[in-house]
């Protein structure tokens, strides 16, 4: 697992303003480079390449980039609204983190500032005839970059905010989170003992905030545990909802002494990042829940789109397969984190997050029930030892719901016949 400072830095780099700020600084710096390096240009060169035309080119770039940026921002906001209303508001975060959109907007803003600073510097005579040559060369490069970005942006606009594209992003985020958790089942720490009975000297740290756990810096917890000679038992995982006063961590001193060190408690609580919403990176259950939410919305009477729900069921099978497929490498543990204990995810939790809402909302549709049963059958065949019991349980629940919601006995018999293949 990554350290907390790297996680925070990663969150900043995903913000639109971050890339826009970098490109803006780069644009201003590029425009001023010609002032610094103008003495390296031969005095006869400006007349040969027509560097006087740079004024008009910069004026065109400044006026057009301002219009393009405004149009792109309005298009981006429309795409966010489409993703929120057509798919789910939880998927909007992934659309906002789209790198192609951020790079396009940052390029347009940076080009606008480049041309604006260039025009101002030209009007003051800071470049001279030699500096105009260098500014002209850089302007040609900027024009090429703008054309490339525009072509890529036009192609990207045809997909931005669309239902299928947004579902692709959610599926990709869920698969990445599951693959990471398979590699780090206890986030780099040790497995929480199932039969743990804490000593009377154990101390409990309670939450000082209300929200969702977004990140746990297990490496930092390991350092604290080694330095203070304590065992740290975490009662939460990324994605857990915590409230004020809820037990988060239990501490047991290796020397058996009942010590209440406030500094140690503050260090431990500082490793937990709690925010107002769940994130995809370290929370596999959230990705599955969002996929399920998309299918449930598609099955609502207002949308009535069982095809999207069936598509999402297939994506759920593909995502859960990553949890059940055998891996050649052994799970990773952070060195020095043996004294930090965390609970692992269970198959039942993953199945409940994905299958339960779809089975409930699609109970009255035969095609959805059939696709769900086939999905459960597929998972039971992929990894019988891991998935079989959960698949049987959800198949039985599906049949119970279908028997209440379906009107035709023939449809009920068809489902029961398919379910027998799984439950036998």
CATH of the domain at 202: 3.90.1170.30
> Which residues of the chain are modeled with pLDDT < 70?
1-2, 34-52, 126-131, 199-200, 256-260, 326-334, 423-424
CA nearest to 340, candidates 260, 226, 264: 226
In a domain, 168, yes or no: no
Q: CA of 424: how far to CAs of 76, 356, 369, 397, in Å?
A: 51, 21, 18, 15
In a domain, 171, yes or no: no
**Cα separation, 137 vs 148, whole angstroms:** 17
**Cα separation, 276 vs 274, whole angstroms:** 7
Beta strands in 94-246 (DSSP E): 190-191, 203-206, 211-216, 230-234, 241-242
Do both 23 and 154 map to the same domain? yes
CA nearest to 289, candidates 239, 362, 236: 239
Q: What is the pLDDT of residue 48?
A: 46
Tokens of 293: 């939410």
**Cα separation, 291 vs 354, whole angstroms:** 7
In a domain, 409, yes or no: yes
Please say which residue of 161, 194, 229 terminates a domain: 161
Do both 288 and 395 map to the same domain? yes
CA nearest to 233, candidates 181, 188, 191: 191
In a domain, 28, yes or no: yes
Adjacent-strand bridge partners of 249:
205, 234
Do both 86 and 136 map to the same domain? yes
The DSSP code for 329 is: S
In total, how many domains does the chain have? 3
* pLDDT tens digits, one per residue of 118-176: 888 777 776 666 667 777 888 888 889 999 999 988 888 877 778 888 899 999 999 99
Q: What is the pLDDT of residue 272?
A: 92
* pLDDT tens digits, one per residue of 46-81: 544 555 677 788 888 888 888 888 888 888 888 888
Do both 10 and 146 map to the same domain? yes
Q: What is the pLDDT of residue 328?
A: 46
Contact predicate 419/395, CB 8 Å = yes
Question: At a CB cut-off of 8 Å and minimum separation 6, what does 33 contact?
Answer: 134, 138
CA nearest to 115, candidates 123, 72, 40: 123
What is the rounded radius of gyration, in angstroms, for the C-alpha atoms of the chain?
Answer: 28
Q: What is the pLDDT of residue 309?
A: 94
pTM (2 decimals)? 0.84
b/e map 165-182, b = 16+ CB within 10 Å: bbbebbbebbbebbbbbb
Supply the range of the domain harboring residue 416. 284-329+345-423
Do both 250 and 148 map to the same domain? no
Contact predicate 285/292, CB 8 Å = no
Do both 29 and 153 map to the same domain? yes
**Cα separation, 281 vs 219, whole angstroms:** 17
End-to-end Cα spacing for the chain: 41
Do both 270 and 294 map to the same domain? no
In a domain, 170, yes or no: no
Q: What is the pLDDT of residue 313?
A: 96
Tokens of 230: 């304590």
Look at the chain and count its residues: 424
Do both 33 and 113 map to the same domain? yes
Q: What is the pLDDT of residue 367?
A: 94
Do both 249 and 300 map to the same domain? no
In a domain, 337, yes or no: no
Q: What is the pLDDT of residue 45?
A: 52
In a domain, 177, yes or no: no
CA nearest to 178, candidates 305, 15, 353, 369: 353
Do both 121 and 233 map to the same domain? no
**Cα separation, 220 vs 267, whole angstroms:** 9
Please say which residue of 275, 296, 317 terminates a domain: 275
Q: What is the pLDDT of residue 44?
A: 55
Do both 242 and 323 map to the same domain? no
Do both 208 and 231 map to the same domain? yes
In a domain, 71, yes or no: yes
């Amino acid at each position: 697992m990554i350290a907390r400072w790297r996680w925070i830095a990663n969150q900043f780099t995903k913000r639109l303003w971050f890339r826009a700020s970098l490109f803006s600084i780069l644009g201003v710096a590029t425009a001023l480079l010609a002032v610094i390096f103008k003495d390296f240009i031969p005095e006869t060169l400006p007349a040969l390449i027509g560097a006087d035309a740079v004024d008009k080119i910069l004026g065109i770039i400044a006026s057009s980039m301002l219009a393009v940026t405004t149009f792109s921002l309005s298009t981006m906001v429309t795409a966010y609204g489409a993703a929120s209303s057509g798919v789910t508001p939880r998927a909007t975060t992934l659309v906002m983190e789209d790198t192609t959109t951020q790079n396009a907007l940052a390029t347009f803003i940076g080009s606008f500032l480049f041309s604006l600073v260039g025009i101002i510097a030209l009007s003051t005579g800071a470049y001279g005839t030699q500096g105009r040559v260098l500014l002209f060369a850089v302007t040609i490069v900027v024009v090429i970059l703008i054309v490339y970005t525009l072509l890529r942006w036009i192609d990207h606009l045809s997909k931005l905010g669309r239902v299928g594209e947004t579902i692709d992003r959610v599926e990709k985020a869920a698969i990445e989170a599951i693959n990471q958790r398979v590699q780090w089942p206890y986030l780099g720490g040790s497995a929480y003992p199932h039969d743990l009975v804490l000593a009377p000297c154990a101390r409990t740290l309670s939450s000082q905030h209300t929200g969702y756990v977004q990140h746990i810096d297990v490496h930092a917890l390991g350092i604290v545990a080694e330095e203070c000679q304590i065992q740290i038992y975490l009662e939460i995982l990324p994605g857990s909802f915590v409230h004020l006063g809820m037990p988060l961590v239990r501490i047991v001193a290796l020397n058996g002494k009942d010590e209440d060190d406030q500094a140690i408690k503050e260090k431990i609580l500082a490793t937990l990042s709690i925010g107002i919403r769940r994130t995809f990176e370290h929370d596999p259950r959230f990705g599955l829940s969002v996929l399920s939410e998309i299918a449930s919305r598609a099955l609502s009477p207002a949308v009535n789109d069982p095809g999207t729900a069936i598509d999402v069921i297939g994506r759920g099978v593909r995502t859960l397969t990553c949890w059940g497929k055998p891996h050649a490498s052994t799970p990773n543990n952070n060195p020095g984190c043996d004294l930090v204990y965390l609970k692992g995810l269970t198959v039942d939790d993953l199945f409940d997050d994905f299958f339960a809402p779809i089975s409930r909302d699609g109970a009255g549709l035969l095609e959805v029930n059939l696709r769900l049963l086939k999905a459960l059958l597929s998972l039971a065949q992929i990894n019988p030892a891991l998935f079989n019991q959960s698949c049987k349980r959800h198949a039985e629940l599906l049949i119970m719901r279908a028997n209440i919601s379906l009107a035709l006995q023939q449809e009920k018999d068809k489902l029961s016949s398919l379910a027998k293949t799984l439950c036998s």
